[in-house]
């Protein structure tokens, strides 16, 4: 770069549903366990191993405390995708085919839908229920889909694209009354909203570190003590025999510390992000027409906004918004062609689903960031519509 050229400006990060930056306080908590306290947590015959084991158990307790569970009910995994797989294949294997009907929603995360597709191939009968135009499940329709042979239901706490919150307590009550296992992919909810697995009658819950300002490569599965499980990985029998493999002490510590911080700061962060979201929408409404919010405006994650615009092609807008880091949908399905399956589930046509932006605010988003983003999106969309760019 020539000396006279300005350094490129770092884009404003607005993709918090895809991933969150690791909080510097989490990095500091992890640091000692990379090279100083490096013992294998399963080698408890000496001080190095015991130190690592103690750090992991403290982290397990922090994860459990955030979701209202007991420490012994938390199994560390590599992330929410692995946790989802373990929940389905482990719990269903323990049932030994006693019941073979499963239920999920059409708007679920790809890591859930792909598992259910595989389970269909293995002979399970899967019901995939629709959601309404706001992205919410009709509990009456859900109750009507239950059968005597229903083994398990999986419903996402917060949708990763549209941020909609499902009525977990109502769903959990329906499942508990019939002895149906209730699994919840809560990767987008944990640490961002109050969540209690006991109150919601959740039997299995998946979470991911990098969605709540922890490191990538670590997650957890809550397994209620009453839930029978079989392993899907075999080896040394770690994690109650359900997930073999040496635990990565620094990552476990990082997840635990991230959970502790989230719990401490949750109420204030919900208030702050709700204000930023409404401020952004108000600014955009005052400067641009021809757009709408996808999903419920009220039953929604504080930091999530998903918008569709009246446009020919959203890609031209994104090309000229290189000062903003945002996306058109799920990072986990961005390599697939076609419109978002979540947005089409709401009833949007192909064009409207294609011309959408997912905007995510988080812990390090400032009011100035939000105001700049609203102004830039309005400017670029207007310029594309007028043919100026």
Indicate which residues carry an active-site annotation: 332
Residue of 310, 284, 342 lying closest to 162 (CA atoms): 342
Interhelix angle 47-67/249-287, rounded to 10 degrees, is 30
**Residue 238, phi then psi, degrees to nearest 5:** -70, 170
Helix (H) or strand (E) holding 170: helix 168-178
Angle at 270 between CA 268 and CA 271, to 5 degrees: 65
147 CB burial (10 A radius; 0-12, 13-18, 19+): middle
Give CA–CA dist 338/228, Å, rounded: 39
Residue of 282, 302, 256, 275 lying closest to 67 (CA atoms): 256
Give CA–CA dist 260/105, Å, rounded: 31
The partner residues of 358 in beta bridges, in order of sequence, read 306, 327
264 CB burial (10 A radius; 0-12, 13-18, 19+): exposed
């Amino acid at each position: 770069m020539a000396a006279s050229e300005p350094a490129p400006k770092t884009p404003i990060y607005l993709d918090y549903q895809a991933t969150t930056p690791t909080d510097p306080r989490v990095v500091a908590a992890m640091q000692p366990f990379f090279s100083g306290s490096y013992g294998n947590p399963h080698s408890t015959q000496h001080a190095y191993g015991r130190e690592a084991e103690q750090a992991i158990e403290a982290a397990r307790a922090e994860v459990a405390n955030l979701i209202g569970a007991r420490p012994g009910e938390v199994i560390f995994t590599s992330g929410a995708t692995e946790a989802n797989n373990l929940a389905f294949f482990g719990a269903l294997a323990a049932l030994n085919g006693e019941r073979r009907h499963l239920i999920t929603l059409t708007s679920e995360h790809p890591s859930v839908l792909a598992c259910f597709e595989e389970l269909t191939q293995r002979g399970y009968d899967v019901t995939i229920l629709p959601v309404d135009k706001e992205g919410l499940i009709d509990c009456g329709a859900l109750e009507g889909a239950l059968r005597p042979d229903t083994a398990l239901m999986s419903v996402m706490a917060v949708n990763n694209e549209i941020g909609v919150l499902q009525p977990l307590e109502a769903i959990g009550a329906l499942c508990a009354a019939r002895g149906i296992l209730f699994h919840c992919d809560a990767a987008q909810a944990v640490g961002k909203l109050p969540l209690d697995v006991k109150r919601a009658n959740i039997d299995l819950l998946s979470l991911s570190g990098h969605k709540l300002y922890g490191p990538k490569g670590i997650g957890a599965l809550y397994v209620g003590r009453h839930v029978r499980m079989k392993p899907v990985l075999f080896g040394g029998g770690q994690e109650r025999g359900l997930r073999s493999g040496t635990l990565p002490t620094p990552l476990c510590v990082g997840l635990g510390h991230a959970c502790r911080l989230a719990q401490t700061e949750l109420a204030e962060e919900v208030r702050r992000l709700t204000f930023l979201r409404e401020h952004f929408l108000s600014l955009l409404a005052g400067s641009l027409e021809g757009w709408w919010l996808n999903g419920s405006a009220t039953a929604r994650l504080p930091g999530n906004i998903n918008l569709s615009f009246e446009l020919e092609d959203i890609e031209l807008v994104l090309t000229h918004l290189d000062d903003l880091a945002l996306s058109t949908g799920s990072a986990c399905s961005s390599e697939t062609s076609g419109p978002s399956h979540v947005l089409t589930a709401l009833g949007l046509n192909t064009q409207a689903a294609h011309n959408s932006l997912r905007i995510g605010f988080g812990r390090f988003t400032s009011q100035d960031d939000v105001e700049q983003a609203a102004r830039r999106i309005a400017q670029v969309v207007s310029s594309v519509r007028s043919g100026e760019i």
